[in-house]
Amino acid sequence: MRAETLKGHLDGILLAVLETGPRHGYAIMEALRVRSDGQVDLPTGTVYPALHRLERAGLIEANWSEASGRRRRVYQLTPAGHRALDTERSSWRDFSAAVSALLQPAAPAVSPS
């Protein structure tokens, strides 16, 4: 799935991946791939700018950690991020229901008698 297809939903998807706990960038991208059965495989050039945007908005926070002698940034949801995720889920349910209704086959038009 191309990044353009996710436009408008990427932030919510990233927040959802971080809901289970802190992750570094590569682990976030891997979680996107695994949880979507390989359908969402985004490049770093898409994921990291979105993470930085979410951090500037106060929805996630990042801290440096060290593992196996390597430093990496680990991202996690803030309380505001949890609230934003709840809002995103509600909006998604409404949007999804509306699009699903529109994509259903239309009932045949009734002609006047």
Q: Which of the 8 DSSP states describes residue 110?
A: P
The CA-to-CA distance between both ends of the chain, in Å, stands at: 48
pLDDT band at 67 (very low <50, low <70, confident <90, very high): confident
pLDDT for 66: 87
The contacts of residue 25 (CB under 8 Å, 6+ apart) are 44, 47, 48, 51, 72, 73, 75
Q: Are 17 and 44 in contact (CB under 8 A)?
A: no
pLDDT at 1: 62
**3-class DSSP state of 23:** strand
CATH of domain 3-88: 1.10.10.10
Q: Average of pLDDT values for 57-81?
A: 94
Whether pLDDT at 3 is above 70? no
Each domain of the chain, given as residue ranges in start order, spans: 3-88
